Each structure stands twice: as C-alpha cells, then as structure tokens.
Chain A
Amino acid sequence: MRPFLALLRRDLGLAFRHGAETLLGAIFFTLALSLFPLGVGASADILARIGAGVIWVLALFAVLLTLERLYQSDYEDGSLELMVLAPVPLELLVFAKCLAHWLTSGLLLVAMSPLLALLMALPAEAYWVLPAALLLGTPTLTLIGSIGAALLVGSRRGSALTALLVLPLYIPVLIFGVSAVDGYLMGLGGGAQMGILGAMLLFAMALAPPATAAALRVALE
C-alpha cells in the first residue's frame, strides 16, 4: 500500500504546484459552456433542453484535455522506469495515477456542475442529479483515458490522436450519463441508468489498469 500512497501523494503535490495547469480542464469546462448560449440563443427552454447533453460532452472534452500529460512527463524524465521497476504490480501504481488524476480533474467538474446547471437554466433537481451522475461517470472517463494516454506515450502526435483513440470509447458513458440526468429531470427516474454508470465504472476499474500497464511496458521496450 505504501508505494500506492507515495505515488498518490507525489502526483497530488505536483498537481497542486502546477495549479494553473490543473485548473485548465475546469476553466475550459466553464468557458466552452458559456459559448453555447451565444451560439444557440439564450432562451431558457432551449438551454434547458440541451443542458444535460452539453455539460456531459464538455466533461468528456475537459477530461480529454488533461490526459496528455498523465504519463508523458513521467516518461520523459525517467520516473516511468522507476514505476515499472518498483517491486509492486504496475497495475496498482496505474490505479494511483488515475485516482490522483480524477481527484484533480473529474472531481473539480463534479463540484462545478451545479453552477453549470444554473447557467444552462436546468431545473433545481439538476443541482444534485448532475453532480451525482458525473461522480459515477467521470472516474470511468479517467480510467479509459488512461489507456489512450499510455498507448501514446512517446509519440509526437499528441492530443488529436488521443481524442481519436479515446472518444469512441467514451460514448457509452455519454449516453447513460445524459439519459440518467434527463430521466430525473423529466420525472421518469434514472436509477437504472445510474446503475449502469456504476457498472461501467466497475468494469473500467477492472479493465483499465492492466491495459494501461501493458501499454506502459510496451512504451519502455
């Protein structure tokens, strides 16, 4: 457990010291959202109808934006070698990296989402439904994104390719995330969709660490 905590503490410390960079995803999230009223008109009923979808799509992009550095800087300075050579399963260290990433990206989006719900004129129920759905969905985005980031370590074609690899795999989270929120807002309930989001999180927790670890080992060969 100690190596796990050491890596978690190191990455959180680094994220804290790179404050502006860490907040970039959250700033993008808000800025991009404010473009929608300018684009589609500020009428409250249009905004409310597309609100859940827009916020989820932007959450996808915001997480995507912060993925590129997840393993690349460790690769460049050599700490990735240390992690691969540490006498603990690499999967465990990958999990620590993902947890640190989520705490400094996804969790921020969760915390900000009620504000965005307000900006998109969503009904009051969205103030708890939206964060709840994002709380279940954003860790999955980090975990799946971790695979894409690891596969591209050392490649010079950065972010556009990350998007091409990762976004198709994000689609299920988007579909059930939006549907859960809309379900509650339309009074139909979204418990089933929340359950599916949770199931996808468990699945990603099982799939992503071994796939990421395999990709990182390939990167160091």
Chain B
Amino acid sequence: MHGYANPLRFQRIADAVLPWVAVALLVLTPIGLYQALVLAPPDYQQGEAARIMYVHVPAAWLATFTYALIAIASVVALVWRHPLAEVAARAAAPVGAAFTAIALVTGSVWGKPMWGTWWVWDARLTSVLILFFLYLGYIALHDAFEDPARGARAASILALVGAVNLPIIKFSVDWWNTLHQPSSILRLDGPTIAPSMLWPLLTMVVVFKLYLVLVLILRMRGQLAQRQIHNLRARGAAGAGV
C-alpha cells in the first residue's frame, strides 16, 4: 500500500542525481549567459533589447511546463494516491509561479522599448497573467487548511480543473485580442529564428530546466522533512493520551 510507502527510495535517487544536476547547472549557466549576452548578435530591428528574450522565453516555457507537471502529479496523487506526487506538485508550484512572474516582468521590460509602454493587454501577456493567478490560487488553497493532507487533495483537484480550463482560457483570450508577434520558434516549417540566436536560447532553456530540477529536488526534500516533523508531532500528541 502507498499509505505505508516511505520516501527512502526517492531520497536515494535524489542523492544520486543532485550532484550531477548541480555540476551541469554550474557549467552551463555561464556558457549560456556568455552566448546570450555576448556572442549572440543584436536583433536587427530590436537591437540589444532583444537579449531579454534569452530569459523571457525560457521562463515563459517553464511557466506552462511546470503547470503541466503539477497537473500530471495531481492526477497521480488523486488516482494512485501516491504521497510523493503531492509533495512534488506542492514543491513545484512556487517555482512555477516564480517563472511566471519572471516571464511577466521581463515581458514588460521588453515591451517598453518595443511598444513604448510597460504593459499592453495583448493575448499572451494576459494569458500568462491568468496563469500566474492560477498558481497563486493553487498555493493558497494548499495552505488553507489545518490538515495538510486535506489541502493537498483539494489543491490536486484545483490543479486538474485549472489544467482542463487553461486551453479554454487561452483560446478565449487569443480570440479576444491578438497583438503580440506570432510564434516564431515552434513552427511546422522549421524555426525562423537565426541559428546564432537559436543556440543561446536553447542553452538557456536547458539551464532553466536544470534549475527547475535542482530546486524541485531540494524543495521535495524539505517538504518530506516537514511532513515527518508533522507526523512525529501528531504521534506525540496521540501518545500523550486524552
């Protein structure tokens, strides 16, 4: 039974993976930054400001990727009741929210020279803003109950409802307004971005992913330790009698 499953196996895997991720991150981050900030050519229209892209695009990708991760973990938590899935989802949520916030802020900084204003209500910014609120709701619901297990189960349901609704929200916001540049990387006829800009971007995406994995493992460890403390205390109270 999962009810008895202990997280020792996760700890073993985490201990094995963690150093590799940390080393890869330490090596790739300076390479990615050097490529993005020095090697990559300035955009012929947007100039040096386009370099924000190397932070903005990976952050925006990971913002949605992390939400998908939470939704998948929530399905696992609800259907198979695997306790580790809930821990993973809860650990990922603030990271995803942070990526979403970075995407919003960098998008806004990028928008200032491009559109002459910090904020425009275009479809993508609006969708990302809504995603940010979904993250906040998820986190707030998770922590809204005295019994952490209750919050975790409720938040899993919310994550699923949110995931089912995200395409509808995206569709309606797109329909409402399209002002942003059309997507230029994920296209069937191949990327329209120059290779000299694509490679730094891909490196940065890998750097962001590694960072997500690293923080996720660290946070999951922390959460597991927190659960153990909670359980010990609950047992202590029960042992002390009526």
The reply, when asked whether chain A contacts chain B directly with Cβ atoms under 8 A, is: yes
Interface residue ranges, A against B (CB under 8 Å): 147, 151-152, 154-157, 161, 164-165, 167-169, 171-172, 175-176, 179, 200, 203, 207, 211, 214-215, 218-219, 221
Which B residues are CB-close (under 8 A) to A156?
A: 144
Q: Does the CB pair A207–B157 fall under 8 Å?
A: no
Q: How far is the CB of A40 from chain B (nearest CB, A)?
A: 18
Could you give 18 example pairs across A and B, Cβ below 8 Å?
A151-B158, A154-B145, A157-B144, A164-B133, A165-B137, A168-B130, A168-B137, A168-B169, A171-B173, A172-B172, A175-B173, A175-B176, A179-B176, A207-B164, A211-B160, A211-B161, A214-B78, A221-B149
- Seed contacts A167-B133, A214-B78; 16 additional CB < 8 Å A-B pairs: A151-B154, A154-B145, A154-B150, A165-B137, A165-B141, A168-B134, A168-B137, A168-B169, A171-B173, A172-B165, A172-B169, A172-B172, A175-B173, A175-B176, A207-B161, A221-B149
| Interface pair A215/B157, CB less than 8 Å apart | yes
Query: SS class of chain B's interface: helix, strand, loop or mixed?
Result: helix
Give the Cβ gap from A199 to chain B, nearest Cβ, in Å: 10
List residues of chain A with CB within 8 A of the CB of B175.
Answer: 175
**Contact at B161–A221, with CB atoms within 8 Å?**
no
| Among candidates B130, B153, B168, residue contacting A221 with C-beta atoms closer than 8 Å | B153
Residues of B within 8 A of A (CB): 78, 130, 133-134, 136-137, 140-141, 144-145, 149-150, 153-154, 157-158, 160-162, 164-165, 168-169, 171-173, 175-176
| Most chain B CB within a 10 A radius of its CB, from A164, A219, A221 | A164
Of the candidates B137, B149, B162, B164, the one having the most CB atoms from chain A within 10 angstroms of its own CB is: B137
Task: Count A/B pairs, Cβ under 8 Å.
Answer: 75
Known interface pairs A164-B140, A165-B141; A218-B154 also in contact (CB < 8 Å)? yes
Give the docked Cα–Cα distance between A207 and B162 (Å): 11
Residues of chain B contacted by A161 (CB below 8 angstroms): 137, 140-141, 144
For B78, the chain A residues whose CB sits under 8 A away are: 214
Could you tell me the distance in whole angstroms from the C-beta of A57 to the nearest C-beta in chain B?
Answer: 14
Task: Note all chain B residues with C-beta closer than 8 A to A147.
Answer: 157-158, 161
* B141 and A218 contacting across the interface, CB-CB below 8 Å: no
B contact residues around A152 at 8 Å (CB): 141, 144, 154
Q: Which residue of A lies closest to B153 (CB)?
A: A218
Q: Which residues of B contact A218 (CB under 8 A)?
A: 150, 153-154, 157
A residues within 8 A CB of B133? 164, 167-168
Q: Which residue of A lies closest to B138 (CB)?
A: A165
**C-alpha spacing A219/B151, complex, angstroms:** 9
Give A215 to B150 CA distance when docked, in angstroms.
Answer: 10
- Chain B residue nearest in CB terms to A200: B168
Chain B positions within 8 Å of A214 at CB level: 78, 157
Q: In whole Å, how far is A16's beta carbon from the nearest beta carbon of chain B?
A: 31
Chain A residues with CB below 8 A from B153, complex form? 218, 221
Docked CA distance A221–B81 (Å): 14
CA–CA, A211 and B164, complex, Å: 11
Chain A minimum-CB-distance residue to B145:
A155
Residues of B within 8 A of A200 (CB): 168
- Residues of chain B within 8 A (CB-CB) of A211 are 157, 160-161
- In the complex, A200→B171 CA distance in Å? 12
In the complex, the chain B residue whose C-beta lies closest to that of A217 is B153
For the complex formed, measure the closest distance between the CB of B173 and the CB atoms of chain A, giving whole angstroms: 7
- Tell me the minimal C-beta distance from A60 to chain B in angstroms: 14
